[in-house]
A and B are shown apart, each in its own frame.
Chain A
Amino acid sequence: MTAEKHVLSILVDNKPGVLSRIAGLFSGRGYNIESLSVAETMDPLVSRVTLVTKADAPVIEQIEKQLNKLINVIKVHDFTGAEYVQREMVLIKVTAKPEHRAEILRMVDIFRCKVVDVGMEHYTIETTGDQGKINAILNLLKPIGIKEIVKTGIIALLRDQYTKK
């Protein structure tokens, strides 16, 4: 069986310690978290955890069941196979020598990113999108010289069912 990527959207009680229960479940049972993002929802009593993991079918079944078993977990939704939008944000600090500046700005323009900080020898670029777009810009900037990056981890929402083709 092959391990597939799963995007899990988990609604939880917005209480202290809940994230560590989820993280502890993954570490204690030997599952891996690829990315994780958490914040309050419209209901201040509820937070949404968006978690990406890689697992084969029996393991993902266990992960979902074990998550559901946690007292503070309200709902677990595996987006795999459904239509959803996903975004992650990346800040990229790239070396910006005078001879490269114009090229970098052109790329920023093409990818509809933003330069959010300019230094003597660097630009910091903000970009959001799906992983394909983010990988594309990272690959293009790499030869110029990426100093540092930071990613938020994926956030995702199901598409409205009425807009489905």
Chain B
Amino acid sequence: MKLTGAQILMKALKEEGVDTIFGYPGGAVLDIYDELSKTEMRHILVRHEQGAVHAADGYARAAGKTGVCLVTSGPGATNTVTGIASAYMDSIPIVIITGQVPTKLIGNDAFQEVDIVGITRPCTKHNYLVKNVANLATTIKEAFYIAGSGRPGPVLIDIPKDIVNDLAEYVSPEKVSLRSYNPTYNPNIKQINKVVKLIHKAVKPVIFAGGGIILSKAHAELTQFARKTRIPVTASLMGLGAFPASDPLWLGMIGMHGTYRSNMAIGECDLLIAVGVRFDDRVAGRTDTFASNAEIVHIDIDPTSIQKNISVSVPVVGDCKTTLEHLNKLIKKEDFGDIGQKCKGWLDKINEWKSTRPLAYTQSDIIKPQYVIDKLYELTKGKAIITTEVGQNQMWAAQYYHFDEPNHFITSGGLGCMGFGLPAAIGAQVACPDKIVVDVAGDGSIQMNIQEMATAVQYGLPINIVILNNQYLGMVRQWQELFYGKRYSSTSMEHAPDFVKLAEAYGAVGLRAVRPEEVEPVLSEGLSSPKTVIMEFVVAREESVYPMVPAGASITEMLLV
């Protein structure tokens, strides 16, 4: 029996196990929406297409599966670009379905026509323009396979309006095989053996974990590996939750706003085992002085990440989970009895760094933003899924909320995309209805996609939005303070809406704390509310994020408070 393109799309999505779509209808996708209404598929109507992609991103990370969004042609499609670029930088598997004008109008500057395949070529893992309905099912299958395998990423499928209505038999391959795409999952054993040798030799080893651990679900393997070898662990922003923050081997985050002991450990280590990372400039700073005393091992499924920014002594191309499994098997047989003794001096030194230069702030009679995050951690017992906007709020969340589990810290790491947190929280809450989901926001960032409040309220999502309101674009102000002689050019945000009234206007709950003693009660009330809540904390205006490595400096050259 022949099906329409729209029916084929729904059937193919169902076969991929899709039960939730984030989207926004429009002319070119009317027929798809009509078909969608006849299925069991849950559709979350966002208020802006950028929100749809961020929500699919948050959903993908919280659920550990591929997220899906559906938007119309032209402006619907172009509005997704920022979200796609963010997902691409963070290697998040999402499939974006865009409507397109009918095939015969493509290239004619038709109403709401845009070459979205051309526009998104550099920020998708792959993309498709479907020109024949007979290829639609196969294309969808391929898209999901590409999005979710190897180094994951966003894949876009552009479907012209006539293809949606054309008829074809439903033909989909059992298995996708692309002769030009075969990610390497299994590491080279010789290289793995070299790693084991280096571990035996090292007296100051460090593991550097990245988002790749979380994407390949290698949390348990990494934890086992670190504990067996007694090697301390640091992580990138994307890697928070890859290793339990409550473990004594945990060093804290690395990089521009990393902990003192993490960054110092990188400066002094003699072996760095980097797993699922890409040595972003916000991590490595000056690359010529980064871990310059160390043999560097780099494990990554994406060969382009290896030797790109940092030259390494042992490159290992392979999936993080598979590679760590191999490593764990090897080291199981090895005797690491002397490691504790051999590396004792190293672990002692790290602990000394921690006690002399801990993450710190002084709570005065004005609310300190760090204090809010501290209390949030305490009250949620570290179990909440934290999404963030971008800037100081993001860094304080990363520093002061401690993650024991993967998929609990959802942030726009690579692109640093303001307006990410609220829609991502919507996606996470839809994926995990039983979890507490908190969007840690600044007063600037939250205003970038504040319209998604309506989405959260419409679907009864009990998202907690914690706004650290310093009436500034805080991180930019911090740079202006440090590097531009305190010339605060266009960073003051004194004219914000009344967030409490705004919450109420959307049908949500609005709470505000202006004094330190109000922080805890406001958080308790907000977190226990079954509704969408904005909690506004009026915080110290000129508080800065420390430690800080100035751009282009060595990682050990930190500004401390």
Contacts and interface: CB of A to CB of B under 8 A. Distances in A.
Partners in one complex: yes
A21 interface: yes
B181 interface: yes
B121 A20 contact: yes
A69 to B, nearest CB: 6
B311 to A, nearest CB: 8
A21 B125 contact: no
A28 B118 CA distance: 13
Interface size class, chain A:
20 to 34
Interface stretch (A57-65, A126-134, A156-164): A57-65
A78 to B, nearest CB: 15
Interface in B117-139: 117-118, 121-122, 125-126, 129
A137 interface: no
A20 B125 CA distance: 14
Contacts, number: 36
A17 interface: yes
B129 to A, nearest CB: 8
A71 B122 contact: no
A28 B457 CA distance: 41
Contacts of A65: 303-304
Contacts of B179: 74
Contacts of A69: 302-304
B180 A73 contact: yes
Interface string A12-40: 11001100110010001000000000000
Given A13-B180, A17-B117, A20-B118, A71 B125 contact: yes
Contacts of A21: 121
Contacts of B146: 71
Contacts of B117: 17
Given A62-B308, A74-B179, A68 B125 contact: no
Nearest to A25: B122
A152 interface: no
* Most chain B beta-carbon contacts within 10 A, residue among A13, A16, A58, A65: A65
B103 interface: no
- How many B residues touch the partner, as a band? 10 to 19
Contacts of B311: 58
Contacts of B307: 58, 61-62
A90 B180 CA distance: 33
B1 interface: no
A139 interface: no
B180 A72 contact: yes
Interface string B160-185: 00000000000000000011110000
A66 interface: yes
A74 B146 CA distance: 15
A52 B302 CA distance: 25
A69 B124 CA distance: 12
Contact of A62 (B121, B122, B181, B304): B304
Contacts of A72: 180
Contacts of B181: 71
Interface in B308-338: 308, 311
Interface of B is mostly: mixed
A143 to B, nearest CB: 46
Contacts of A61: 307
A71 B118 contact: no
A31 to B, nearest CB: 13
Contacts of A16: 129
A61 B304 CA distance: 9
B304 A74 contact: no
A97 to B, nearest CB: 47
B276 to A, nearest CB: 16
A28 B122 contact: yes
A112 to B, nearest CB: 40
A16 to B, nearest CB: 8
Contacts of A70: 180
Interface in A47-97: 58, 61-62, 65-66, 68-74
Contacts of B302: 69
A118 B104 CA distance: 44
Nearest to B128: A17
Interface in A123-155: none
Interface string B280-309: 000000000000000000000011100110
Tell me which of B129, B180, B181, B302 has the highest count of chain A C-beta atoms within 10 A of its own C-beta. Answer: B180
A113 B129 CA distance: 45
A61 B309 CA distance: 12
A48 to B, nearest CB: 14
A22 to B, nearest CB: 11
Given A65-B303, A69-B302, A74 B180 contact: yes
Nearest to A12: B180
A80 B179 CA distance: 25
Interface string B101-120: 00000000000000001100
Contacts of A13: 180
A70 B122 CA distance: 11
B178 A68 contact: no
Contact of B178 (A17, A28, A62, A71): A71
Interface of B: 117-118, 121-122, 125-126, 129, 146, 178-181, 302-304, 307-308, 311
24 contacts: A12-B180, A13-B180, A16-B129, A17-B117, A20-B118, A20-B121, A21-B121, A28-B122, A61-B307, A62-B304, A62-B307, A62-B308, A65-B303, A65-B304, A68-B303, A70-B180, A71-B125, A71-B126, A71-B146, A71-B180, A71-B181, A72-B180, A74-B179, A74-B180
Given A20-B121, A69-B302, 20 more contacts: A17-B117, A17-B121, A17-B129, A20-B118, A28-B122, A58-B307, A61-B307, A62-B304, A65-B303, A66-B304, A69-B303, A69-B304, A70-B180, A71-B125, A71-B126, A71-B146, A72-B180, A73-B180, A74-B179, A74-B180
Interface of A: 12-13, 16-17, 20-21, 24, 28, 58, 61-62, 65-66, 68-74
Top 10 A-B pairs, shortest CB-CB distance: A65-B304, A71-B126, A74-B180, A65-B303, A28-B122, A71-B181, A24-B121, A66-B304, A69-B304, A73-B180
